[in-house]
Structure 1
Amino acid sequence: MARSLVDLLTTHATHQPDRTAYRYLVTGDPDGEIQEISYARLATRSRAVAAWLQERGLAGSRAMLLHPPGLEFVCGYLGCLSAGVVAVPGVPPQGRAQNHRALTRMKRLIADADAKVILGGREVIAALGTMTEHLPELAGITCVATEDIADDTAAAWREPDLTADSVAFLQYTSGSTSAPKGVVVTHGNLLDNERVITERMGHTPEVIEEYGHELIVSWLPVYHDMGLIGPVLNTVYLGLTTTLFSPLHFLQRPDRWLRAVSHYRPHTSGGPNFAYELCLRHATPELVDDLDLSSWKVAFNGAEPVRAATLRRFTETFAPAGFRRDAFYPCYGLAEATVMVTGGTVGQPPVLLDADGDTTDAAAVGCGKPGEGVTVVVADPERRQELPEGEAGEIWVRGASVAKGYWRNALATRESFRATLPGHEGRFLRTGDLGFLRGGELFVTGRLKDLMVIDGRNHYPQDLELAAEMSHPALRPGCTAAFSVDNGVEGELPVLVAEVAPDAAGEAEKITDLIRAAIGDAHGLPVHDVVLVQPGTIPKTSSGKIQRRASRAAYLDGSLSVIGAPAHG
């Protein structure tokens, strides 16, 4: 029985050395330049990186990974695992707009993880060499481009003594409600979560055979848990062939994702809800005519609220290309549980539910059922008692996928990972997410710390953001922040900050009025303030989630990049 993904990589390299493990679309297009790596080559490159690390006595220490999208990251990550080195995936600084945020995060991660080495692409490593003045944290840290580690170094590789409790990597949380924390993920956690993903997504031996091992297409960032644990590592777990391309190429042209799915005909591909919205924004009759999406069985949708309206519109738009409603696969997970906690049932449409039992666009979307061996309960966060079915509370999780805790943060580990519940054995992970269970199906309703209480009523910011975004086409999907402010007189008051297309500045007053009307109609709330801002300026986490606290702080200190004058109510 495999003790780690390192064992499985060795097995695949031995039994199917010539099979392509990953192909990378350099331009994001199936008809552009393509890089491929076989299982034999992947094992060689990973062992070369591992041996380089072992020769420097780095086993057990932390290695920061700063690669641009591509195959080198995979070799570097598996190289760390193969050396018994703890991998720390990070976002490489790139482009002026990204630089400050990426540098700040990189500094935090290097310091918190106490990284001893940085592995990266050549350009990143060269850039770091010019940053020592701004990055005193780099002093004493060895930096190397993984491409420059020679193949013949692999001959010196020694198989590490790994157990289920050995730490595989630190997955730093995206920090949507707090400073990033390093989740300590063990080799046992990884194997268990790959088992859950495989079982819930229907990656059976029969399906693998039917698809000729071509199961996954992904543009998701590999430094984030959804893109790493899902597409990248499920590939090594099962011996698949997976097609990858850059998130930037997807954002530049969302049709690239659909064209890659149409070309390679995978079983599984997905992303956050906003990705499907972006595809809808760029859909044309000509594009739909060009596509064949009939092989797509698991269109997973997670990492942010899943919208019933998005599922309906995407299905209607792409049905002529063979996309089926029952391919949609809402799921729920978090870094603290490695990634996947619940997922839909393959071949069955998503479960929708609203207050009247109707399946309208405002319906709550079920995020599926827990994987085998995963326990999900909904608890009262104050009284710490399990709540009856249908009652909303905090989502608590138990199982072998739940990580060890937070890196060098005993207090946060105790608060989040050590919860106990009357009537249940063992300890639970407190997710900080709110939801309820109905018929074994999990419905996620929001974040505990983002909940807005206005005039004694609970409001989830996600609901206000959705109502706002649907009020005018110039509002960018997944780029709206709702939060409350206290003016000292009337108590908590709702504020909406929304990114709009630059050419919509002339319509600022009209858009503001439509947002107010939409939220008033849907939620009976008068909005205190609506602020329209430049595209790309609302604070987001590394995984693309809205940082509502940071948005609120920027609103209060007047640092938002406003389009048109804010309209006060």
Structure 2
Amino acid sequence: MAIPDRGLLDWLDEASAERGLSYANRDDDWDFVSYRELASLVLRTAAALRARGVGDGDTVALVQRSSPGFAAGFFGALAAGATPCSLAPPFAYQRADDYARHAGHLLAAVRPRAVVCDDESLERIAKLSADAGLDAPVTFGALVEGVEPLPRPLPLPATALVQFTSGSSGHSRGVRISEEALRTNLTGMRRWLGCRPELPAASWLPVHHDMGLVGFLLNVVVTGFDGWMMQPDDFVRSPLRFLRCLSERRIAMTAMPNFGLSYILRRVRPADLEGLSFDALRCVIIGAERVDPRVLEDFHALLGPHGLDRGALLPAYGSAEATLAVTGLLPGEGWSAREPDDSDAAALAGTSVVGCGRPLEGRTVSIRSEDGSELPEGQVGEIVVEGVSIADGYVGDAGSASGTSLGEGGLRTGDAGFRRAGQLFVIGRLGDGLKVNGKMVFAESLETLLHQRGLPERRVAVLLGVREGVPTGVAVFAGVQDGWRETAHEVLAEWLPGAELLSVEVPRGGIAVTSSGKPRRRVIWKAVCAGWFSESTRALAPEG
């Protein structure tokens, strides 16, 4: 049966009292909100926003954790004829000064007409809003208290979402997503995955990130299937609780970055899974960062004996500027890893690349050279995306060091990759590479090798560039442990012959990351070149 296109607010007219969203609570239980209850809350939110002066096309900033209030805030802004945007709450940042710079920049860029936040975020957001010359924020509870709902939603705004980029190369940028682009991306994902209301889904992803927001929450609500929601920090505390949810609730779909799979592998032992079953799980979407083939193999080895089908692991590729999804493997297809042509083999630094599937309907993906010409299969170049669901542009200043750009030629992603048999294989950011002996080596490839040799994710970052005219590779360690420097020296010396090799040590948690956890490589690189880490910078050499 064909899966139809659905408007973003169509679900309000057919909201179920039996299906809805379930949120994990502190009592190892779940709090259920039906779609009928959520629909009423959406229309109350819309009325409250209009009463606070929000007009057609205004922006409403949401600084909230995953919650019924966030879902109502997002769809309530749309029902009020306004454009929602989601900012990371403070919990997503380890350092208060990093958060202040991040959130303050975004508030100043989008200048929302209203800011709706959690109780726990109110104090910080109030200060940042005042600094930006904005009206005081309001908590969601205070916003809707005593408000009667609108009888029906107002016409949708032209811009249905301002989605922020990860900011791995500098400040995050606000991407303007049209109603048509958001709707067609959700439709494309439903058809790719075969989403139906009877197939429940679960997520621990933050809703300020496009994978958690568009890829999960919006897809779940607009389609109308049951969604089981955990907080990211709850997942970090107990990944086993999330796995129990997948088993006990017969979850069919979930999503996470490679880091999530790797974290489960570190924290969950085979004996912990006794009595659990994952045979209902048909879609584990893996995106947002490069996928490690060994992590996929090890994850299947852990959960496979409990019913997980290898074909349920679905590497995918997307970006904020493409609304989200660009390519993905079909459920049941089975993932594969490949290398580019021999002439570009150094691009991988000794690792194979996992295929991220084929373009979703209405999208085309090409690999382009520096001069813009299309490259044949197997050759490495820049990934360029064209077709439906491409963003309209950026909010305010479009300048960025990321290399991503929108224009008549489509979306130039700034990502390096190649194609094989119609599949896209993503290597890493073009700006995070270094040419060695005429071939490119990518930071993400070197990090993958370090992870495979035992250095945990989020504890090491590799930086590549030219420093004072000298090709340089830097290993940044967060809470360095015995043996890490030697391992890093072996890997970097092998793949960066002739380059200067440095190590930088920062405290655990001291590697600057985006709100989605990616290393801000170019930001750290600039800091290294400026001498900010001079006291802990030294030559990377074997220990002893």
Superposed pair shares fold, TM > 0.5: yes
> Which residue is equivalent to 2:463?
483
> Which residue is equivalent to 1:517?
490
The reply on whether 1:369 has 2:358 as its aligned counterpart is yes
Match of residue 5, structure 1, among 5, 8, 15: 8
The whole-number CA distance in structure 2 between the counterparts of 1:568 and 1:558 is: 20
The reply on whether 1:550 has 2:523 as its aligned counterpart is yes
1:126 is displaced (CA, Å) by: 4.8
Q: Is the 8 A contact 1:110 1:137 kept in 2?
A: no
Once the two structures are superposed, what CA deviation does each residue of 1:150-178 show, in whole Å capped at 9, x if it has no partner? 46624345521237xx1112101111113
Match of residue 386, structure 2, among 395, 398, 403: 398
Match of residue 60, structure 2, among 54, 58, 63: 63
1:123 is displaced (CA, Å) by: 3.2
The whole-number CA distance in structure 2 between the counterparts of 1:336 and 1:565 is: 38
1:366 is displaced (CA, Å) by: 0.4
Match of residue 408, structure 1, among 371, 396, 419: 396
Match of residue 185, structure 1, among 165, 177, 186: 177
The reply on whether 1:463 has 2:448 as its aligned counterpart is no
1:461 is displaced (CA, Å) by: 0.7
Cα–Cα, structure 1 residues 559 and 290, in superposed 2: closer, same or farther, change >3 Å?
Answer: farther
1:550 is displaced (CA, Å) by: 1.8
Partner amino acid, structure 2, of 1:167? T
Partner amino acid, structure 1, of 2:51? E
The whole-number CA distance in structure 2 between the counterparts of 1:482 and 1:393 is: 21
Cα–Cα, structure 1 residues 294 and 522, in superposed 2: closer, same or farther, change >3 Å?
Answer: farther
Cα–Cα, structure 1 residues 24 and 554, in superposed 2: closer, same or farther, change >3 Å?
Answer: same
Once the two structures are superposed, what CA deviation does each residue of 1:358-392 show, in whole Å capped at 9, x if it has no partner? 9x993211000001111111112x31121122221
> Which residue is equivalent to 2:236?
251
Once the two structures are superposed, what CA deviation does each residue of 1:519-562 show, in whole Å capped at 9, x if it has no partner? 44567676612334432111111111111112223333454599
> Which residue is equivalent to 1:273?
258
Cα–Cα, structure 1 residues 275 and 525, in superposed 2: closer, same or farther, change >3 Å?
Answer: farther
Once the two structures are superposed, what CA deviation does each residue of 1:472-528 show, in whole Å capped at 9, x if it has no partner? 3xx222443222354546x21211113347xx3xx2xx3211222234456767661
The reply on whether 1:22 has 2:1 as its aligned counterpart is no
SS of 1:372's partner is coil
> Which residue is equivalent to 1:499?
478
The whole-number CA distance in structure 2 between the counterparts of 1:525 and 1:319 is: 44
Select between 349-358 and 429-438 the one with higher mean Cα deviation.
Answer: 349-358
Select between 66-75 and 519-528 the one with higher mean Cα deviation.
Answer: 519-528
Partner amino acid, structure 2, of 1:50? A
The whole-number CA distance in structure 2 between the counterparts of 1:264 and 1:343 is: 25
The whole-number CA distance in structure 2 between the counterparts of 1:256 and 1:561 is: 43
Q: Is the 8 A contact 2:182 2:389 kept in 1?
A: yes
Q: Is the 8 A contact 1:496 1:527 kept in 2?
A: no
Once the two structures are superposed, what CA deviation does each residue of 1:93-112 show, in whole Å capped at 9, x if it has no partner? 24993422222211111111
Q: Is the 8 A contact 2:463 2:473 kept in 1?
A: yes
Partner amino acid, structure 1, of 2:417? G
> Which residue is equivalent to 2:371?
383
The whole-number CA distance in structure 1 between the counterparts of 2:413 and 2:238 is: 34
Partner amino acid, structure 2, of 1:392? V
SS of 2:457's partner is strand
> Which residue is equivalent to 1:38?
34
Question: Which aligned pairs between 1:132-531 and structure 2 lie closer than 5 A?
Answer: 136-137=130-131, 139-150=133-144, 153-162=147-156, 166-203=158-195, 205=196, 208=197, 213-354=198-339, 362-380=351-369, 382-409=370-397, 416-420=405-409, 428-472=410-454, 475-488=455-468, 491-500=470-479, 504=481, 507=482, 510-521=483-494, 528-531=501-504
> Structure 1 unaligned runs (5+)?
421-427
Q: Is the 8 A contact 1:44 1:154 kept in 2?
A: no
The whole-number CA distance in structure 1 between the counterparts of 2:227 and 2:493 is: 46
Number of residues of Structure 1 aligned to a counterpart in Structure 2 = 532
SS of 1:236's partner is helix
Cα–Cα, structure 1 residues 356 and 168, in superposed 2: closer, same or farther, change >3 Å?
Answer: closer
1:298 is displaced (CA, Å) by: 1.0
Cα–Cα, structure 1 residues 528 and 244, in superposed 2: closer, same or farther, change >3 Å?
Answer: same
Q: Is the 8 A contact 1:309 1:362 kept in 2?
A: no
Q: Is the 8 A contact 1:169 1:186 kept in 2?
A: yes
Partner amino acid, structure 2, of 1:434? A
Once the two structures are superposed, what CA deviation does each residue of 1:247-274 show, in whole Å capped at 9, x if it has no partner? 0111222223222212212111121101
SS of 2:154's partner is coil
Partner amino acid, structure 1, of 2:357? G
Q: Is the 8 A contact 1:480 1:546 kept in 2?
A: no
Q: Is the 8 A contact 1:20 1:39 kept in 2?
A: yes
1:454 is displaced (CA, Å) by: 2.9
Q: Is the 8 A contact 2:446 2:462 kept in 1?
A: yes
SS of 1:492's partner is strand
The whole-number CA distance in structure 2 between the counterparts of 1:351 and 1:568 is: 35
The whole-number CA distance in structure 2 between the counterparts of 1:167 and 1:185 is: 6
Partner amino acid, structure 2, of 1:24? Y
Select between 283-292 and 264-273 the one with higher mean Cα deviation.
Answer: 283-292
1:462 is displaced (CA, Å) by: 0.8
The whole-number CA distance in structure 1 between the counterparts of 2:436 and 2:65 is: 44
The whole-number CA distance in structure 2 between the counterparts of 1:326 and 1:158 is: 43
SS of 1:553's partner is helix
Partner amino acid, structure 1, of 2:282? K
Q: Is the 8 A contact 1:533 1:561 kept in 2?
A: no
The whole-number CA distance in structure 1 between the counterparts of 2:496 and 2:264 is: 28
Q: Is the 8 A contact 2:471 2:499 kept in 1?
A: no
> Which residue is equivalent to 1:423?
none
The whole-number CA distance in structure 1 between the counterparts of 2:465 and 2:403 is: 31
> Which residue is equivalent to 1:100?
97
1:120 is displaced (CA, Å) by: 1.3
Partner amino acid, structure 2, of 1:23? S
Q: Is the 8 A contact 1:50 1:154 kept in 2?
A: no
1:199 is displaced (CA, Å) by: 1.4
SS of 2:361's partner is coil
The whole-number CA distance in structure 2 between the counterparts of 1:433 and 1:127 is: 35
> Which residue is equivalent to 1:425?
none
How well do the aligned residues superpose, as a CA RMSD in angstroms?
2.9
1:288 is displaced (CA, Å) by: 2.5
The whole-number CA distance in structure 2 between the counterparts of 1:458 and 1:356 is: 13
The whole-number CA distance in structure 1 between the counterparts of 2:387 and 2:217 is: 22
> Which residue is equivalent to 1:91?
88
1:347 is displaced (CA, Å) by: 0.4
The whole-number CA distance in structure 2 between the counterparts of 1:267 and 1:46 is: 27
The whole-number CA distance in structure 1 between the counterparts of 2:365 and 2:149 is: 46
Match of residue 49, structure 2, among 45, 50, 53: 53
Cα–Cα, structure 1 residues 415 and 39, in superposed 2: closer, same or farther, change >3 Å?
Answer: closer
Select between 389-398 and 517-526 the one with higher mean Cα deviation.
Answer: 517-526
Q: Is the 8 A contact 1:479 1:546 kept in 2?
A: no
The whole-number CA distance in structure 2 between the counterparts of 1:439 and 1:409 is: 38
Q: Is the 8 A contact 1:476 1:500 kept in 2?
A: no
The whole-number CA distance in structure 2 between the counterparts of 1:532 and 1:323 is: 39
The whole-number CA distance in structure 2 between the counterparts of 1:388 and 1:32 is: 52
Q: How much identity, in percent, do the aligned residues show?
A: 29
> Structure 2 unaligned runs (5+)?
none
Q: Is the 8 A contact 2:380 2:418 kept in 1?
A: yes
The reply on whether 1:116 has 2:113 as its aligned counterpart is yes
Cα–Cα, structure 1 residues 433 and 356, in superposed 2: closer, same or farther, change >3 Å?
Answer: closer
Cα–Cα, structure 1 residues 179 and 138, in superposed 2: closer, same or farther, change >3 Å?
Answer: closer
Q: Is the 8 A contact 2:181 2:389 kept in 1?
A: yes
SS of 1:286's partner is helix
